[in-house]
Structure 1
Amino acid sequence: MSENEKQGLLTGPQSQVPGYGAPPPSGYPPQGAPPQGYPGQAPPQGYQGQAPPQGYPGQAPPQGYPGQAPPQGYQGGPPPQGGYPPQGAPAGAVPPAAGQVEQDSIPSAPPIEKMDQIAGYENVASQDPLPPPSYEEVTRAPPPTDRQIPSASVITAEQAKEAYIDFTSEHCCYGSSGAKDSSIVDLKSSSAFHYTLETFGEKRVTTWAQEPYNGQPIDGPQNGPAPGPWDLQVMASKNFQNSKSDIEVPHTASVKPCHTCVGNCRVRCNHCHGRGNNRCTWCHGNGHNRVYEDGRHHNKPCHHCNRSGQQRCNWCHGHGQVKCKTCDGKGNLKCYIKLTVTWTNHYDDHIVERTALPSELIRGVNGQTAFEEELPRVWAINHFPDPTINQASDTLVKRHSTAFPTERLLIQRHRVRIIPVNEVIAIWKNQETKFYVYGFENKVYAPDYPQKCCCTIL
C-alpha cells in the first residue's frame, strides 16, 4: 500500500468538526496503520486509492462516510451517535438491540466543556434555583386596628327542611319521606371561621438549551455582556396563580456542531443497524415458508422478500441512515442559556369549627368575607374576636416569611371567611335524627339519615 493510500485512511470527519477535535479513544488503529481486514489486498473497484469500510465489500458505504472505514466493532454501519465507541470497547461489540432509538442515550445538549464561558453563569450546569438578590425589607403598612366583624346569617326551620328535602333528591338510595314527613324540633346556629394565607413567590433557574440552527440571528457575547439572571424583567401574567415562563438570556447564544451526528446531519438507523434491510418477518429470514399441500410438507418461496430472506428497512428506506433528530438534519445547533421563571402561589389555611360537622366541608362552600388584606408583606391578624384565628394567623405568617429561601416573595394576601353552620334536630316516626345545614348554598350533612335503602340499578 502506498503512502497516499495510508494517508487517505487516516482522514475522517470526526477530526475535522470544529470544537470536537479530541483524539479518538484507545482501541483505534495507530496512525499510519491500515485498517485490519485488508492486509496485502487491493481495494475493490470503485475505491481507488482507499480501502472500503468493513462490512460493505463491493458496495458504496453509507452516505456521510465516503471512502472511510468505520470504527472497529461496528462493521456494516457508520459509528454510533456521538462519533466513537466507549473507550476500551473490544472490537466486534454488539450494537444496540433492534427497535431501540439510538438517540435516546444522547445528552439533550452538547457537553458543558464545549459551551462558551458566560460571565455570571459559571454554575449554569448545576440547574439549582438561583438565590434571590438581597433586598431591604419592604415598606409595611401599620398593623390593622380593631374593626367590626359581621355575624353569620341565620336560617329558619322552613329553610332547613327545604334543604333537607333537596339533599335526599341527590341520593338515589335515600327515601324522600324521611325528610318530607319529618318535624324540626330544634335549630342551633353557629359560625365557622376559615383563615387563608397566600404567598406569591418567584423562582429562577438557568440551564443550557439548544435548538436546530436554521440560519436564525445569533445574539452572542459579541453584542455585550449578558445580564444577570435577576436583572431580566419578567412579569407574571397574574398574581396568586401558578405559571411558568422560559426565555433566552440575551448575549449568550452561539452555534455549535451537533453533538449527536457530529455535524453529519444523519445518523445510523438503529432499526437495521445501518444495513438498510432487516430479516423478513414472513419467512423469518429463510426465504421460504414450510407449508402443507397435497398431503405433504414442502417449502414454498416467500414472495414478500423475493426469496432473499431480507426486507428493506421501512425506517431508513434502505439507506442505512436517518435524519438526525437533534439538529433536524441541519448539522449545527444554536446553543444558549435558558432562564426558567416559575411563579408559585403558596397556600395555607386554618379552620375553626366547633360542631360535629367535618372541617374539610367548610373549604368547599361560600361564606361572608369578614377580613381581607393584600400587601407586599402582611401583618398577622391580632384583632379578630376568636383568639384561635389570631394565633393561626401569627403562626402561618411567621412560617411563610422563612419557608421559601430560594424564591423572591412578591406579594401576600390573607382573609377570614365566616361560614354559617346550623345544627338541626328532626323527628321522623318517633326517631330523632340530627343533620347540619352549612354555607350560603345551604349544603346538608346528614350521616344518620333515617330512611336509607338498598337499590339495584339494572
Structure 2
Amino acid sequence: MNSAAMYPPGPAPPPMMLGNMPGGVGAGVYPPLSAPTANMFGNMPGYEGIGAAGGFLPPPMPAEPVAPPQPGAAPDSWVIPALQEDVARAAFKDFANSKCCYGSGPAEEGVITNMEPFNTFRYRLETFTESRSTEMAQKPHEGETADFYTQPAPRPWEVEVQAPALFTNHTEEKRVPYTSSIKECDSCHSKGTKACEKCTGSGHNSCLKCNGSGKEGEQNCSACNATGKDRCSTCSGRGTIQCNTCKGKKQLLTYVKLKVEWKTQTDTFFAEQNSGLKVDDLSSVSGKELFKYSQCLVYPLHGFPNASIFEASDRLIKEHQTKFAQTSRILQQRHVVDLVPITKVNYKWKTNMHVFYVYGNENKVSAEDYPATCCCVIL
C-alpha cells in the first residue's frame, strides 16, 4: 500500500437529490438562508439520522486475504548463542548498582553455579485500522461558501483523506463537502457581543479598596475618587465582551464534520518458557527477529515449528476481525515472531542459593530475591 496515496472516492449518491433543491439541477449555487436541521439529511445517503452526538460508521467490505509464505523448519540462524558468564555477571553488577537500596555483595562476590537458557518465542499481531465518524458541527463564519445541496455530498467513506504512513496513529477532522450552511448566531442574537458577566453589563464593579462606599474612614476613597466603582477589567468598561460562540462574526457555519482515526491495534503472545521469569518483564525488551510479514489481511502461521505460535496467530487474527472489522476498515496487518533470549542464573552467596535472570537483547536483569537489600529514606 502506498501510504501517500489518497483513498479513491466511491460511487456518487443518486442525482435525484438535486431535485429537492429549488430550481433543480440548473439553478446553480443556492446557499440556504439558515442552517439545515438534522432531519434534512434524511435523504442524503450516508448521513441519515445524523445528530450532534454523531457515531461511528460501518466500513466497506474488506478484501479477502491472500495466503502468505509460511515459515518452515527452524533454520540455524534462529539459534541464540549461550550467554557468557562474564556478560551475565556484568549485567548483574549494573543491576545492583542501579538500586539505591541494594548492596554490592551478591553481585560482586556471588559464585555462579549454573546457567540455563530459556529462550522463548514472542508473537505480535498488529492491525492498522481506519475508522470514520460524523457529527453536526459549527464554527464562526469566516467567509466560507454555503454549499449545502449544491451538489450531492460524498458518503462518509467516499470523502478523500490523506493516509498516514502504515502503522502510524493519526487523527484528522474534515468538513464534508456540500454540507455547509450559514446561520445567525443564537448565542448573541447576531450582535457579535454579549453582556459582560463579571459586571453584568454595567462596565464597572464595586471598588475593592472601599467596598463600594466611596469612603476610607472619613476620607474620600483615593482609588475610585469617591465613586465606589472600579472600571471592569474584563470588558475594559464597555459592558460587553466578544461572543465566544461566533468570535464576533455574528454568523456561524454549520456543517457535517468527518473524523478519521488511524490506529495500530496490537496484541502479543509469549510461548511458555517455564523459567520462572514473569511475562510482563519481557514486554520491555527486544529479541531476535525470525519472521515478519504484512499484507491487507494475514493468515495464521501454519507450520511454525512451535505449535503454540500457530495457535496464537490463529486466535488473535480471529479476535482482531471480530473486534475491529465491524467498525473500522482494516488497511494492513502485520505479524512478527522473534526469539527473546532468557538465561536463568543460579548463584551462591554466603551459604544460600539464589537466582537472577538476564533477558532480552538489552541484557536486562530481574532478581526478586536479591539477598542484600536495606530500607532507606531519601530526604
Q: TM-score, normalised to structure 2's length?
A: 0.82
Query: Does residue 311 in structure 1 map to residue 214 in structure 2?
Result: no
Q: Give the Å deviation of 1:302.
A: 1.8
**In structure 1, how many angstroms separate the alpha carbons of the residues matched to 2:375 and 2:65?**
63
The residue matched to 1:380 in structure 2 has which SS?
A: coil
1:188 aligns with 2:107: no
Question: What are the Cα deviations for residues 330-350 of structure 1, in whole angstroms up to 9, with x where unaligned?
Answer: 211222222110112111111
Correspondence for 1:27: none
Q: Distance in 2 between matches of 1:447 and 1:259?
A: 64
Residue 70 of structure 2 is aligned to residue 144 of structure 1: yes
The answer as to whether partners of 1:287 and 1:307 remain within 8 angstroms in 2 is yes
Does the 8 A contact of 1:152 with 1:190 survive in 2? no
**Alpha carbons 2:201, 2:240 under 8 Å: kept:** yes
Gaps of 5+ in 1: 1-17, 21-109, 291-298
Task: Provide the residue aligned with 1:372 in structure 2.
Answer: 292
CA pair 401-259 structure 1, distance change in 2 beyond 3 A: same
Quick check: 1:300 aligned with 2:195?
no
| Higher RCO (Cα < 8 Å, 6 or more apart) | 2
CA distance, structure 1, for counterparts of residue 280 and residue 199 of structure 2:
59
Shift of 1:361: 0.9
Cα distance in 2, alignment partners of residues 396 and 232 from structure 1: 31
Question: Equivalent residue for 1:119?
Answer: 44
Q: Does 2:159 align with 1:232?
A: yes
C-alpha displacement of 1:175: 2.3
Task: Give the root-mean-square deviation of aligned CA atoms.
Answer: 2.5
Aligned equivalent of 1:422: 343
d(CA) in 2 for partners of 1:114, 1:421: 62
Instruction: Map 1:354-369 to 2 at 5 A.
Output: 354-369=274-289
Amino acid at match of 1:432: M
Q: Tell me the distance in 2 between the aligned counterparts of 1:195 and 1:445.
A: 22
For residues 264-287 of structure 1, the C-alpha deviation after alignment (integer angstroms, 9 at most, x for no partner) is 111111111122222222222222
Change (3 A) 1:191 1:371: same
Matching residue within 332, 337, 347 for 1:411: 332
Contact 2:296/2:332, CA 8 A, preserved across alignment: yes
Count of aligned residue pairs for this structure pair: 342
CA deviations 1:81-136 (Å, max 9, x no partner) are: xxxxxxxxxxxxxxxxxxxxxxxxxxxxx794698877232323140111112x25
Corresponding residue to 1:281 among 202, 208, 222: 208
- After superposition, give the CA deviation of every residue in 1:150-202 in whole Å (9 maximum; x if it has no partner): 12331122222222222222122222232222221111112122111111111
The equivalent of 1:265 in structure 2 is: 192
User: SS of the counterpart of 1:403?
Assistant: helix
SS at match of 1:230: helix
Candidates 412, 436, 441, aligned match of 2:362: 441
Q: 1:168 is paired with a residue of what secondary structure?
A: helix
What's the secondary structure of 1:221's corresponding residue?
coil
On the 8 A contact 2:132/2:258 being kept in 1, the answer is yes
Determine if the alignment matches structure 1 residue 212 to structure 2 residue 131: no
Q: Is the contact between residue 219 and residue 250 of structure 1 (CA under 8 Å) also seen in structure 2?
A: no
What is the aligned partner in structure 2 of residue 293 from structure 1? Answer: none
Contact 2:72 2:305 in 1 (8 A): no
For structure 2, the 5+ residue unaligned runs are 1-31
Letter in 1 for 2:302: N
Residue 164 of structure 1 corresponds to 92
One-letter amino acid of the structure 2 residue matched with residue 345 of structure 1? T
Matched, 1:177 2:98: no
Deviations 1:201-257 (A, max 9, x none): 111111222222233x41503642111111122233122222100112112222221
Q: In 2, are the aligned partners of 1:19 and 1:114 still within 8 Å (CA)?
A: no
Q: Which amino acid aligns with 1:380?
A: P
Between structure 1 and structure 2, the one with the greater Rg is: 1
SS in structure 2 of the partner of residue 435 of structure 1: strand
**Residue number among 292, 308, 325 corresponding to 1:388 in the alignment:** 308
Q: Give runs of aligned pairs for residues 317-336 of structure 1, distance below 5 A.
A: 317-336=236-255
Equivalents in 2 of 1:270, 1:363: separation in Å? 54
Aligned-pair CA distance for 1:147: 3.8
Aligned partners of 2:131 and 2:260 also within 8 Å: yes
- Once residues 59 and 286 of structure 2 are traced to their aligned partners in structure 1, the CA distance between those partners, rounded to angstroms, is 37
Report % sequence identity. 37
Determine helix, strand or coil for the equivalent of 2:56: coil
